Chains A and B, each alone.
Chain A
Protein backbone atom coordinates (compact mmCIF):
# COMPACT_ATOMS: atom_id res chain seq x y z
CA UNK A 1 0.00 0.00 0.00
CA UNK A 2 2.76 2.36 0.99
CA UNK A 3 4.41 4.46 -1.65
CA UNK A 4 7.97 3.33 -2.37
CA UNK A 5 10.22 5.61 -0.32
CA UNK A 6 12.53 7.86 -2.29
CA UNK A 7 15.97 6.42 -2.96
CA UNK A 8 18.93 8.50 -1.91
CA UNK A 9 21.25 10.16 -4.33
CA UNK A 10 24.66 8.64 -4.98
CA UNK A 11 26.15 11.73 -3.35
CA UNK A 12 24.30 11.02 -0.06
CA UNK A 13 25.42 7.37 -0.15
CA UNK A 14 29.00 8.53 -0.59
CA UNK A 15 28.69 10.97 2.31
CA UNK A 16 27.31 8.19 4.51
CA UNK A 17 30.42 6.13 3.73
CA UNK A 18 32.79 9.05 4.42
CA UNK A 19 33.94 10.83 7.58
CA UNK A 20 31.31 12.45 9.83
CA UNK A 21 32.96 15.85 9.52
CA UNK A 22 32.46 15.81 5.74
CA UNK A 23 28.79 14.95 6.03
CA UNK A 24 28.21 17.65 8.65
CA UNK A 25 30.10 20.26 6.62
CA UNK A 26 28.02 19.49 3.51
CA UNK A 27 24.77 19.69 5.46
CA UNK A 28 25.75 23.02 7.00
CA UNK A 29 26.68 24.46 3.61
CA UNK A 30 23.45 23.20 2.11
CA UNK A 31 25.38 20.93 -0.27
CA UNK A 32 23.57 17.91 1.17
CA UNK A 33 20.02 17.46 2.45
CA UNK A 34 19.44 15.70 5.81
CA UNK A 35 16.45 13.75 4.45
CA UNK A 36 18.74 12.33 1.76
CA UNK A 37 21.08 11.06 4.46
CA UNK A 38 18.14 9.23 6.07
CA UNK A 39 17.26 7.65 2.72
CA UNK A 40 20.91 6.70 2.18
CA UNK A 41 20.95 4.98 5.57
CA UNK A 42 17.77 2.99 4.90
CA UNK A 43 18.95 2.12 1.36
CA UNK A 44 22.19 0.79 2.80
CA UNK A 45 20.23 -1.25 5.36
CA UNK A 46 18.26 -2.87 2.50
CA UNK A 47 21.39 -3.40 0.47
CA UNK A 48 23.27 -5.27 3.20
CA UNK A 49 20.21 -7.20 4.40
CA UNK A 50 19.80 -5.64 7.83
CA UNK A 51 16.32 -7.19 8.17
CA UNK A 52 15.06 -9.92 10.50
CA UNK A 53 15.70 -12.71 7.99
CA UNK A 54 19.36 -11.80 7.48
CA UNK A 55 21.66 -9.69 9.71
CA UNK A 56 18.79 -8.82 12.10
CA UNK A 57 20.45 -5.59 13.19
CA UNK A 58 17.41 -3.61 14.34
CA UNK A 59 14.60 -4.34 16.76
CA UNK A 60 12.73 -1.31 15.42
CA UNK A 61 13.34 1.39 12.85
CA UNK A 62 11.61 4.72 12.37
CA UNK A 63 11.93 5.94 8.81
CA UNK A 64 9.00 8.32 9.15
CA UNK A 65 10.24 9.94 12.35
CA UNK A 66 13.78 10.18 11.02
CA UNK A 67 12.60 11.82 7.81
CA UNK A 68 10.48 14.24 9.82
CA UNK A 69 13.39 15.31 12.07
CA UNK A 70 15.60 15.61 8.98
CA UNK A 71 13.08 18.00 7.44
CA UNK A 72 13.03 20.06 10.64
CA UNK A 73 16.82 20.35 10.37
CA UNK A 74 16.51 21.64 6.83
CA UNK A 75 13.96 24.20 8.01
CA UNK A 76 16.44 25.23 10.72
CA UNK A 77 19.21 25.82 8.19
CA UNK A 78 20.03 29.48 7.67
CA UNK A 79 18.80 30.55 11.11
CA UNK A 80 21.14 32.44 13.39
CA UNK A 81 22.34 29.53 15.53
CA UNK A 82 24.45 27.03 13.60
CA UNK A 83 23.53 23.37 13.30
CA UNK A 84 25.31 21.07 15.77
CA UNK A 85 28.29 18.76 15.40
CA UNK A 86 26.14 15.90 14.17
CA UNK A 87 23.90 17.83 11.79
CA UNK A 88 22.07 15.37 9.56
CA UNK A 89 24.05 12.35 10.75
CA UNK A 90 22.00 9.14 10.95
CA UNK A 91 22.55 7.45 14.32
CA UNK A 92 21.39 4.08 15.68
CA UNK A 93 20.69 3.47 19.38
CA UNK A 94 20.96 0.32 21.41
CA UNK A 95 17.46 -0.72 22.45
CA UNK A 96 18.08 -0.16 26.17
CA UNK A 97 18.25 3.63 25.71
CA UNK A 98 14.89 5.34 26.26
CA UNK A 99 13.77 7.11 23.11
CA UNK A 100 10.56 9.13 22.69
CA UNK A 101 8.18 7.79 20.10
CA UNK A 102 10.03 4.49 19.65
CA UNK A 103 9.85 1.20 21.55
CA UNK A 104 12.55 0.40 24.13
CA UNK A 105 12.56 -3.38 24.62
CA UNK A 106 16.06 -4.15 25.96
CA UNK A 107 15.88 -7.23 23.73
CA UNK A 108 13.37 -8.74 26.19
CA UNK A 109 9.84 -10.11 25.90
CA UNK A 110 9.03 -8.47 29.23
CA UNK A 111 9.28 -5.02 27.57
CA UNK A 112 7.71 -5.94 24.25
CA UNK A 113 5.76 -2.95 22.99
CA UNK A 114 6.97 -0.66 25.77
CA UNK A 115 7.33 2.97 24.68
CA UNK A 116 9.09 5.22 27.15
CA UNK A 117 7.29 8.45 28.12
CA UNK A 118 10.64 10.23 28.50
CA UNK A 119 13.92 10.43 26.65
CA UNK A 120 17.46 9.57 27.73
CA UNK A 121 19.81 12.53 28.21
CA UNK A 122 22.24 11.08 25.65
CA UNK A 123 19.46 11.02 23.06
CA UNK A 124 18.47 14.59 23.85
CA UNK A 125 22.10 15.62 23.40
CA UNK A 126 22.37 13.77 20.09
CA UNK A 127 19.19 15.39 18.77
CA UNK A 128 20.25 18.84 20.02
CA UNK A 129 23.38 18.42 17.90
CA UNK A 130 21.40 17.55 14.80
CA UNK A 131 21.69 13.75 14.84
CA UNK A 132 18.80 11.85 13.26
CA UNK A 133 17.75 8.63 15.03
CA UNK A 134 17.06 5.90 12.46
CA UNK A 135 16.46 2.88 14.67
CA UNK A 136 16.93 0.86 17.84
CA UNK A 137 19.45 -1.94 17.58
CA UNK A 138 19.34 -5.56 18.66
CA UNK A 139 21.10 -6.61 21.86
CA UNK A 140 21.47 -9.44 24.35
CA UNK A 141 18.46 -9.34 26.65
CA UNK A 142 19.04 -6.59 29.26
CA UNK A 143 22.64 -6.39 27.97
CA UNK A 144 23.46 -9.80 29.46
CA UNK A 145 25.61 -11.59 26.95
CA UNK A 146 28.63 -11.36 24.69
CA UNK A 147 27.20 -12.48 21.36
CA UNK A 148 23.71 -10.92 20.88
CA UNK A 149 22.41 -14.51 20.77
CA UNK A 150 20.43 -13.87 23.97
CA UNK A 151 18.00 -11.44 22.31
CA UNK A 152 14.32 -12.41 22.48
CA UNK A 153 14.12 -11.06 18.92
CA UNK A 154 16.64 -13.50 17.44
CA UNK A 155 20.42 -13.21 17.08
CA UNK A 156 22.22 -10.52 15.10
CA UNK A 157 24.82 -11.75 12.61
CA UNK A 158 28.24 -10.30 11.99
CA UNK A 159 28.29 -8.32 8.70
CA UNK A 160 31.91 -9.42 8.17
CA UNK A 161 30.92 -13.11 8.21
CA UNK A 162 27.24 -13.96 8.65
CA UNK A 163 28.02 -17.36 10.19
CA UNK A 164 29.58 -15.55 13.12
CA UNK A 165 28.28 -13.48 16.03
CA UNK A 166 28.83 -9.71 16.13
CA UNK A 167 29.75 -9.89 19.81
CA UNK A 168 27.59 -8.34 22.47
CA UNK A 169 25.73 -7.10 24.14
CA UNK A 170 25.74 -4.05 21.81
CA UNK A 171 25.97 -6.39 18.78
CA UNK A 172 23.29 -4.63 16.73
CA UNK A 173 24.96 -1.23 17.13
CA UNK A 174 28.39 -2.62 16.18
CA UNK A 175 26.90 -4.42 13.17
CA UNK A 176 25.04 -1.27 12.04
CA UNK A 177 28.31 0.66 11.98
CA UNK A 178 30.32 -2.18 10.41
CA UNK A 179 27.71 -2.64 7.66
CA UNK A 180 27.84 1.08 6.84
CA UNK A 181 24.20 1.77 7.76
CA UNK A 182 25.29 4.48 10.19
CA UNK A 183 28.66 6.03 10.96
CA UNK A 184 27.84 6.33 14.62
CA UNK A 185 25.81 4.30 17.10
CA UNK A 186 25.32 4.26 20.84
CA UNK A 187 25.78 1.14 22.91
CA UNK A 188 26.13 0.49 26.60
CA UNK A 189 28.79 -1.19 28.70
CA UNK A 190 28.68 -3.11 31.91
CA UNK A 191 31.64 -5.44 31.33
CA UNK A 192 32.79 -4.86 27.75
CA UNK A 193 29.53 -4.71 25.79
CA UNK A 194 30.77 -1.92 23.49
CA UNK A 195 34.46 -2.81 23.13
CA UNK A 196 34.00 -6.55 22.54
CA UNK A 197 31.47 -6.20 19.66
CA UNK A 198 33.55 -3.32 18.24
CA UNK A 199 36.51 -5.70 18.15
CA UNK A 200 34.46 -8.53 16.57
CA UNK A 201 33.02 -6.25 13.86
CA UNK A 202 36.14 -4.20 13.10
CA UNK A 203 34.90 -0.81 14.33
CA UNK A 204 35.91 1.63 17.08
CA UNK A 205 34.17 1.24 20.45
CA UNK A 206 34.54 3.59 23.42
CA UNK A 207 33.60 3.11 27.07
CA UNK A 208 34.00 6.41 28.93
CA UNK A 209 35.01 6.93 32.56
CA UNK A 210 32.29 5.97 35.02
CA UNK A 211 30.42 9.26 35.51
CA UNK A 212 31.52 10.89 32.25
CA UNK A 213 28.20 10.32 30.47
CA UNK A 214 24.70 10.65 31.91
CA UNK A 215 22.82 7.39 32.34
CA UNK A 216 19.42 9.05 32.71
CA UNK A 217 17.23 6.93 30.43
CA UNK A 218 19.65 4.01 30.14
CA UNK A 219 17.84 0.96 31.48
CA UNK A 220 19.88 -0.09 34.53
CA UNK A 221 21.74 -3.43 34.65
CA UNK A 222 24.71 -3.06 37.02
CA UNK A 223 24.55 0.43 38.46
CA UNK A 224 28.14 0.60 39.74
CA UNK A 225 29.40 -0.49 36.28
CA UNK A 226 27.02 0.77 33.56
CA UNK A 227 28.06 3.50 31.11
CA UNK A 228 26.73 4.58 27.73
CA UNK A 229 29.36 4.10 25.01
CA UNK A 230 29.91 5.03 21.39
CA UNK A 231 30.59 2.89 18.32
CA UNK A 232 32.06 4.60 15.27
CA UNK A 233 33.70 3.78 12.00
CA UNK A 234 36.84 5.76 12.85
CA UNK A 235 38.50 7.17 15.95
CA UNK A 236 37.52 10.67 14.83
CA UNK A 237 33.85 9.75 14.37
CA UNK A 238 33.82 8.10 17.80
CA UNK A 239 35.55 11.10 19.40
CA UNK A 240 32.93 13.48 18.03
CA UNK A 241 30.09 11.25 19.20
CA UNK A 242 31.66 10.86 22.64
CA UNK A 243 32.11 14.60 23.02
CA UNK A 244 28.44 15.23 22.19
CA UNK A 245 27.10 12.80 24.81
CA UNK A 246 29.62 13.60 27.59
CA UNK A 247 29.04 15.95 30.50
CA UNK A 248 27.34 16.42 33.83
CA UNK A 249 23.56 15.97 34.02
CA UNK A 250 21.39 17.09 36.96
CA UNK A 251 19.11 14.12 36.21
CA UNK A 252 21.90 11.59 36.96
CA UNK A 253 23.55 12.03 40.34
CA UNK A 254 26.34 9.63 39.35
CA UNK A 255 27.38 11.85 36.43
CA UNK A 256 30.50 13.79 37.31
CA UNK A 257 30.92 17.54 37.24
CA UNK A 258 34.18 17.41 35.27
CA UNK A 259 34.84 19.61 32.20
CA UNK A 260 34.63 17.81 28.84
CA UNK A 261 37.74 18.33 26.67
CA UNK A 262 37.62 18.54 22.86
CA UNK A 263 38.62 14.96 22.09
CA UNK A 264 39.03 15.42 18.35
CA UNK A 265 41.79 17.99 18.99
CA UNK A 266 43.99 15.03 19.94
CA UNK A 267 44.00 14.00 16.28
CA UNK A 268 47.32 15.63 15.49
CA UNK A 269 48.84 15.64 18.98
CA UNK A 270 51.43 12.98 18.15
CA UNK A 271 52.77 10.29 20.45
CA UNK A 272 56.31 11.45 21.20
CA UNK A 273 57.11 10.87 24.85
CA UNK A 274 53.93 8.89 25.56
CA UNK A 275 54.49 5.90 27.84
CA UNK A 276 52.43 2.85 26.85
CA UNK A 277 52.11 0.12 29.46
CA UNK A 278 51.95 -3.49 28.28
CA UNK A 279 50.43 -5.44 31.19
CA UNK A 280 51.78 -8.98 31.18
CA UNK A 281 48.54 -10.45 32.56
CA UNK A 282 46.78 -9.48 29.30
CA UNK A 283 49.30 -11.41 27.19
CA UNK A 284 49.13 -14.91 28.73
CA UNK A 285 51.04 -17.84 27.22
CA UNK A 286 47.83 -19.33 25.86
CA UNK A 287 46.76 -16.17 24.00
CA UNK A 288 45.53 -16.81 20.44
CA UNK A 289 48.75 -16.37 18.39
CA UNK A 290 46.93 -14.37 15.69
CA UNK A 291 45.86 -11.84 18.32
CA UNK A 292 49.27 -11.78 19.99
CA UNK A 293 50.89 -11.12 16.61
CA UNK A 294 48.62 -8.18 15.71
CA UNK A 295 49.12 -6.67 19.18
CA UNK A 296 52.91 -6.87 18.79
CA UNK A 297 52.58 -5.15 15.43
CA UNK A 298 50.56 -2.35 17.08
CA UNK A 299 53.15 -2.00 19.85
CA UNK A 300 55.90 -1.77 17.20
CA UNK A 301 53.90 0.99 15.53
CA UNK A 302 53.78 2.82 18.87
CA UNK A 303 57.56 2.57 19.23
CA UNK A 304 58.04 3.92 15.71
CA UNK A 305 55.80 6.88 16.55
CA UNK A 306 58.12 7.84 19.39
CA UNK A 307 56.20 6.32 22.27
CA UNK A 308 57.88 4.16 24.91
CA UNK A 309 56.47 0.71 25.57
CA UNK A 310 56.98 -0.48 29.12
CA UNK A 311 56.21 -3.91 30.60
CA UNK A 312 53.91 -3.50 33.58
CA UNK A 313 51.80 -5.69 35.84
CA UNK A 314 48.20 -5.53 37.07
CA UNK A 315 48.47 -8.47 39.48
CA UNK A 316 44.76 -8.95 40.26
CA UNK A 317 43.63 -9.15 36.61
CA UNK A 318 42.81 -12.86 36.70
CA UNK A 319 40.13 -12.23 39.34
CA UNK A 320 38.16 -9.74 37.27
CA UNK A 321 35.78 -12.30 35.73
CA UNK A 322 34.81 -13.99 39.03
CA UNK A 323 34.43 -10.55 40.65
CA UNK A 324 32.43 -9.18 37.74
CA UNK A 325 30.10 -12.18 37.58
CA UNK A 326 29.26 -11.78 41.26
CA UNK A 327 28.80 -8.00 41.34
CA UNK A 328 26.99 -7.55 38.02
CA UNK A 329 24.34 -10.26 38.64
CA UNK A 330 23.90 -9.01 42.22
CA UNK A 331 23.14 -5.51 40.99
CA UNK A 332 21.02 -6.87 38.14
CA UNK A 333 18.88 -8.94 40.52
CA UNK A 334 18.00 -5.71 42.29
CA UNK A 335 17.61 -3.50 39.20
CA UNK A 336 15.44 -6.01 37.35
CA UNK A 337 13.06 -6.40 40.31
CA UNK A 338 11.07 -3.51 38.81
CA UNK A 339 9.94 -5.67 35.87
CA UNK A 340 7.07 -7.42 37.61
CA UNK A 341 4.06 -6.90 35.37
CA UNK A 342 2.80 -3.88 37.29
CA UNK A 343 4.46 -0.89 35.68
CA UNK A 344 5.99 -2.01 32.41
CA UNK A 345 5.25 -4.18 29.40
CA UNK A 346 4.20 -7.79 29.81
CA UNK A 347 1.66 -8.80 32.46
CA UNK A 348 0.67 -12.43 32.99
CA UNK A 349 -2.35 -12.68 35.31
CA UNK A 350 -2.41 -15.61 37.68
CA UNK A 351 -4.96 -17.39 39.82
CA UNK A 352 -2.44 -17.10 42.64
CA UNK A 353 -3.06 -13.38 42.96
CA UNK A 354 -0.46 -10.65 43.09
CA UNK A 355 2.57 -12.85 43.87
CA UNK A 356 1.47 -15.28 41.21
CA UNK A 357 1.32 -12.43 38.72
CA UNK A 358 4.85 -11.33 39.59
CA UNK A 359 6.24 -14.84 39.31
CA UNK A 360 4.43 -15.82 36.11
CA UNK A 361 5.18 -12.50 34.39
CA UNK A 362 8.88 -12.76 35.15
CA UNK A 363 9.03 -16.47 34.23
CA UNK A 364 7.42 -15.77 30.88
CA UNK A 365 9.14 -12.44 30.25
CA UNK A 366 12.79 -13.24 31.03
CA UNK A 367 14.94 -15.48 28.84
CA UNK A 368 17.25 -18.21 30.19
CA UNK A 369 20.40 -16.09 30.69
CA UNK A 370 18.57 -13.27 32.47
CA UNK A 371 16.83 -15.82 34.71
CA UNK A 372 20.17 -17.48 35.47
CA UNK A 373 21.82 -14.18 36.38
CA UNK A 374 18.91 -12.94 38.49
CA UNK A 375 18.99 -16.24 40.43
CA UNK A 376 22.79 -16.07 40.73
CA UNK A 377 22.62 -12.45 41.92
CA UNK A 378 19.88 -13.24 44.43
CA UNK A 379 21.93 -16.20 45.71
CA UNK A 380 25.17 -14.24 46.27
CA UNK A 381 23.22 -11.55 48.12
CA UNK A 382 21.22 -13.95 50.28
CA UNK A 383 21.83 -14.49 53.99
CA UNK A 384 24.65 -16.92 54.61
CA UNK A 385 26.38 -16.34 51.28
CA UNK A 386 26.70 -12.55 51.23
CA UNK A 387 30.10 -12.44 52.98
CA UNK A 388 31.61 -15.32 51.03
CA UNK A 389 30.62 -14.00 47.63
CA UNK A 390 29.41 -10.41 47.40
CA UNK A 391 31.51 -8.87 50.16
CA UNK A 392 34.58 -10.80 49.05
CA UNK A 393 34.06 -9.69 45.44
CA UNK A 394 33.78 -6.04 46.50
CA UNK A 395 37.07 -6.32 48.41
CA UNK A 396 38.87 -7.87 45.43
CA UNK A 397 37.33 -5.18 43.23
CA UNK A 398 39.08 -2.60 45.39
CA UNK A 399 42.40 -4.36 44.72
CA UNK A 400 41.72 -4.43 40.96
CA UNK A 401 41.05 -0.67 40.97
CA UNK A 402 44.19 -0.13 43.05
CA UNK A 403 46.24 -2.01 40.41
CA UNK A 404 45.17 0.59 37.83
CA UNK A 405 45.87 3.52 40.15
CA UNK A 406 49.34 2.14 40.93
CA UNK A 407 50.29 1.57 37.30
CA UNK A 408 49.13 5.02 36.19
CA UNK A 409 50.87 6.62 39.19
CA UNK A 410 54.11 4.95 38.08
CA UNK A 411 54.28 7.17 35.01
CA UNK A 412 52.34 5.09 32.48
CA UNK A 413 50.01 7.23 30.32
CA UNK A 414 47.85 4.49 28.82
CA UNK A 415 47.76 0.70 28.73
CA UNK A 416 47.60 -1.35 25.56
CA UNK A 417 46.07 -4.85 25.52
CA UNK A 418 44.07 -7.14 23.23
CA UNK A 419 40.32 -6.38 23.42
CA UNK A 420 39.20 -10.00 23.22
CA UNK A 421 40.85 -13.41 23.66
CA UNK A 422 39.55 -14.66 20.28
CA UNK A 423 38.14 -13.22 17.03
CA UNK A 424 34.36 -13.51 16.41
CA UNK A 425 33.12 -17.07 16.95
CA UNK A 426 30.37 -18.89 15.08
CA UNK A 427 26.73 -18.68 16.17
CA UNK A 428 25.99 -21.42 18.68
CA UNK A 429 29.67 -22.26 19.15
CA UNK A 430 29.87 -21.18 22.80
CA UNK A 431 27.34 -23.18 24.81
CA UNK A 432 28.69 -23.06 28.36
CA UNK A 433 27.65 -19.94 30.30
CA UNK A 434 31.03 -19.45 31.98
CA UNK A 435 32.92 -19.96 28.72
CA UNK A 436 30.84 -17.11 27.27
CA UNK A 437 31.67 -14.97 30.32
CA UNK A 438 35.37 -15.39 29.48
CA UNK A 439 34.80 -13.27 26.33
CA UNK A 440 34.99 -10.30 28.73
CA UNK A 441 38.29 -11.38 30.27
CA UNK A 442 40.24 -8.34 29.00
CA UNK A 443 37.42 -5.79 29.23
CA UNK A 444 35.58 -6.27 32.56
CA UNK A 445 38.45 -4.92 34.67
CA UNK A 446 38.04 -1.38 33.24
CA UNK A 447 34.37 -1.40 34.27
CA UNK A 448 35.24 -2.66 37.74
CA UNK A 449 37.83 0.12 38.14
CA UNK A 450 35.66 2.78 36.43
CA UNK A 451 38.44 3.81 34.04
CA UNK A 452 37.87 4.70 30.35
CA UNK A 453 38.84 2.20 27.66
CA UNK A 454 38.34 1.78 23.94
CA UNK A 455 38.84 -0.77 21.19
CA UNK A 456 40.47 0.12 17.88
CA UNK A 457 40.76 -2.22 14.86
CA UNK A 458 44.40 -3.29 14.60
CA UNK A 459 44.28 -6.05 12.01
CA UNK A 460 42.63 -9.31 11.14
CA UNK A 461 42.97 -13.08 11.29
CA UNK A 462 41.96 -14.54 7.91
CA UNK A 463 39.49 -11.71 7.40
CA UNK A 464 38.13 -11.64 10.95
CA UNK A 465 38.74 -8.28 12.63
CA UNK A 466 40.96 -8.01 15.69
CA UNK A 467 40.76 -5.11 18.13
CA UNK A 468 43.39 -3.57 20.37
CA UNK A 469 42.36 -2.00 23.66
CA UNK A 470 43.61 1.29 25.06
CA UNK A 471 42.93 1.91 28.76
CA UNK A 472 43.46 5.33 30.40
CA UNK A 473 43.22 6.78 33.92
CA UNK A 474 39.94 8.23 35.28
CA UNK A 475 38.78 11.11 33.05
CA UNK A 476 41.82 10.52 30.84
CA UNK A 477 39.76 10.25 27.65
CA UNK A 478 41.95 12.84 25.92
CA UNK A 479 45.16 10.86 26.23
CA UNK A 480 43.22 7.69 25.35
CA UNK A 481 41.99 9.29 22.10
CA UNK A 482 45.49 10.62 21.44
CA UNK A 483 46.87 7.08 21.62
CA UNK A 484 43.99 5.81 19.45
CA UNK A 485 44.41 8.46 16.74
CA UNK A 486 48.12 7.67 16.52
CA UNK A 487 47.56 3.94 16.29
CA UNK A 488 44.84 4.28 13.68
CA UNK A 489 47.03 6.46 11.49
CA UNK A 490 50.05 4.15 11.87
CA UNK A 491 48.02 1.11 10.86
CA UNK A 492 46.19 2.90 8.01
CA UNK A 493 45.49 0.64 5.10
CA UNK A 494 44.41 -2.14 7.40
CA UNK A 495 41.36 -4.20 6.75
CA UNK A 496 38.24 -2.15 7.43
CA UNK A 497 35.05 -4.16 6.91
CA UNK A 498 32.56 -2.65 4.50
CA UNK A 499 35.04 -0.07 3.28
CA UNK A 500 35.94 -2.16 0.23
CA UNK A 501 32.48 -2.08 -1.28
CA UNK A 502 31.50 1.36 0.00
Chain B
Protein backbone atom coordinates (compact mmCIF):
# COMPACT_ATOMS: atom_id res chain seq x y z
CA UNK B 1 0.00 0.00 0.00
CA UNK B 2 2.36 2.65 -1.31
CA UNK B 3 1.82 6.29 -0.35
CA UNK B 4 1.03 8.38 -3.43
CA UNK B 5 1.49 12.07 -4.06
CA UNK B 6 -2.29 12.42 -3.65
CA UNK B 7 -2.10 10.69 -0.26
CA UNK B 8 0.46 13.27 0.89
CA UNK B 9 -1.83 16.10 -0.23
CA UNK B 10 -4.74 14.54 1.64
CA UNK B 11 -2.79 13.83 4.81
CA UNK B 12 -1.23 17.32 4.81
CA UNK B 13 -4.74 18.78 4.59
CA UNK B 14 -5.88 16.64 7.52
CA UNK B 15 -2.79 17.69 9.49
CA UNK B 16 -3.28 21.39 8.64
CA UNK B 17 0.21 21.78 7.20
CA UNK B 18 0.79 23.68 3.95
CA UNK B 19 3.23 21.66 1.83
CA UNK B 20 5.10 23.19 -1.09
CA UNK B 21 4.26 21.52 -4.43
CA UNK B 22 7.93 20.76 -4.99
CA UNK B 23 8.13 18.74 -1.74
CA UNK B 24 5.20 16.40 -2.43
CA UNK B 25 7.05 13.74 -4.41
CA UNK B 26 10.02 13.54 -2.07
CA UNK B 27 7.71 13.35 0.96
CA UNK B 28 5.83 10.45 -0.65
CA UNK B 29 9.18 8.69 -1.15
CA UNK B 30 10.26 9.37 2.44
CA UNK B 31 6.99 8.11 3.92
CA UNK B 32 7.13 5.00 1.73
CA UNK B 33 10.68 4.29 2.82
CA UNK B 34 9.66 4.48 6.49
CA UNK B 35 6.40 2.55 6.08
CA UNK B 36 8.26 -0.15 4.15
CA UNK B 37 9.97 -1.11 7.41
CA UNK B 38 6.61 -1.29 9.18
CA UNK B 39 5.48 -4.13 6.91
CA UNK B 40 7.65 -6.35 9.12
CA UNK B 41 4.79 -6.28 11.61
CA UNK B 42 2.58 -8.34 9.29
CA UNK B 43 4.68 -11.36 10.20
CA UNK B 44 3.44 -11.23 13.78
CA UNK B 45 0.36 -13.27 14.58
CA UNK B 46 -1.85 -10.96 16.62
CA UNK B 47 -5.16 -12.72 16.01
CA UNK B 48 -5.45 -13.70 19.67
CA UNK B 49 -4.11 -10.49 21.22
CA UNK B 50 -6.97 -9.07 23.22
CA UNK B 51 -6.28 -5.57 24.42
CA UNK B 52 -4.06 -2.73 23.39
CA UNK B 53 -1.26 -2.01 25.79
CA UNK B 54 -1.23 1.50 27.14
CA UNK B 55 -0.42 2.19 30.73
CA UNK B 56 2.12 0.42 32.88
CA UNK B 57 -0.36 -0.84 35.42
CA UNK B 58 -3.64 -0.05 37.05
CA UNK B 59 -5.10 2.18 34.35
CA UNK B 60 -6.00 5.80 34.76
CA UNK B 61 -6.74 7.33 38.14
CA UNK B 62 -9.88 9.37 38.53
CA UNK B 63 -10.17 12.45 40.70
CA UNK B 64 -13.18 14.05 42.35
CA UNK B 65 -15.20 16.07 39.87
CA UNK B 66 -14.60 19.59 41.07
CA UNK B 67 -13.01 22.64 39.48
CA UNK B 68 -9.33 22.39 40.42
CA UNK B 69 -7.16 25.50 40.44
CA UNK B 70 -5.86 26.10 36.93
CA UNK B 71 -2.29 26.27 38.18
CA UNK B 72 -1.59 29.65 36.60
CA UNK B 73 1.02 31.71 38.37
CA UNK B 74 -0.73 34.93 37.39
CA UNK B 75 -4.16 35.92 36.10
CA UNK B 76 -4.76 35.57 32.32
CA UNK B 77 -5.19 39.33 32.07
CA UNK B 78 -1.51 39.79 32.93
CA UNK B 79 -0.22 37.83 29.93
CA UNK B 80 -3.05 37.83 27.38
CA UNK B 81 -2.65 40.43 24.60
CA UNK B 82 -6.12 41.80 25.31
CA UNK B 83 -9.00 40.86 27.60
CA UNK B 84 -12.53 42.09 28.24
CA UNK B 85 -14.91 40.99 30.99
CA UNK B 86 -12.54 38.18 31.89
CA UNK B 87 -12.40 36.83 28.32
CA UNK B 88 -9.31 36.77 26.11
CA UNK B 89 -9.81 38.73 22.88
CA UNK B 90 -8.46 37.08 19.73
CA UNK B 91 -7.41 38.91 16.58
CA UNK B 92 -9.84 39.30 13.69
CA UNK B 93 -9.31 37.05 10.71
CA UNK B 94 -10.37 37.46 7.10
CA UNK B 95 -13.04 34.79 7.64
CA UNK B 96 -14.69 37.02 10.23
CA UNK B 97 -15.73 39.44 7.51
CA UNK B 98 -19.38 40.32 7.60
CA UNK B 99 -19.56 39.74 11.32
CA UNK B 100 -19.66 42.74 13.63
CA UNK B 101 -16.33 44.32 14.61
CA UNK B 102 -16.58 42.88 18.09
CA UNK B 103 -18.98 40.36 19.47
CA UNK B 104 -21.63 42.13 21.54
Contact = CB atoms under 8 A, between A and B. Distances in A.
Interface stretch (A353-361, A459-467, A492-500): A353-361
Most buried by B among A392, A395, A400: A395
Interface string B53-66: 11111101111000
B60 A396 contact: no
Contact of A433 (B20, B34, B50, B68): B34
B73 A358 contact: no
B87 interface: no
Nearest to B69: A251
Contacts of B18: 356, 359-360, 362-363
Contacts of A376: 31, 34-35
Contact of A393 (B10, B41, B76): B41
A394 B11 contact: no
B46 interface: yes
B1 A399 contact: no
A254 interface: yes
Contact of A117 (B8, B58, B74): B74
B19 interface: yes
Nearest to B95: A353
Interface in B1-59: 1, 3, 7-8, 10-12, 14-20, 27, 30-31, 33-35, 37-38, 40-42, 44, 46, 49-58
Contacts of A319: 40-41, 44
Contact of A378 (B11, B44, B79): B11
Contacts of A399: 44, 46, 49
Question: Which of the four size classes fits the interface of chain B?
Answer: 35 or more
B50 to A, nearest CB: 8
B61 A257 contact: yes
A81 interface: no
B86 interface: no
A322 B41 contact: yes
A375 interface: yes
14 contacts: A119-B71, A253-B62, A323-B41, A326-B41, A349-B93, A352-B94, A354-B94, A366-B17, A371-B17, A378-B15, A379-B31, A392-B41, A396-B41, A474-B57
Pick the 4 closest A-B CB pairs, nearest first: A450-B56, A353-B95, A395-B46, A394-B52
Interface of B: 1, 3, 7-8, 10-12, 14-20, 27, 30-31, 33-35, 37-38, 40-42, 44, 46, 49-58, 60-63, 68, 70-74, 76, 79, 90, 93-95
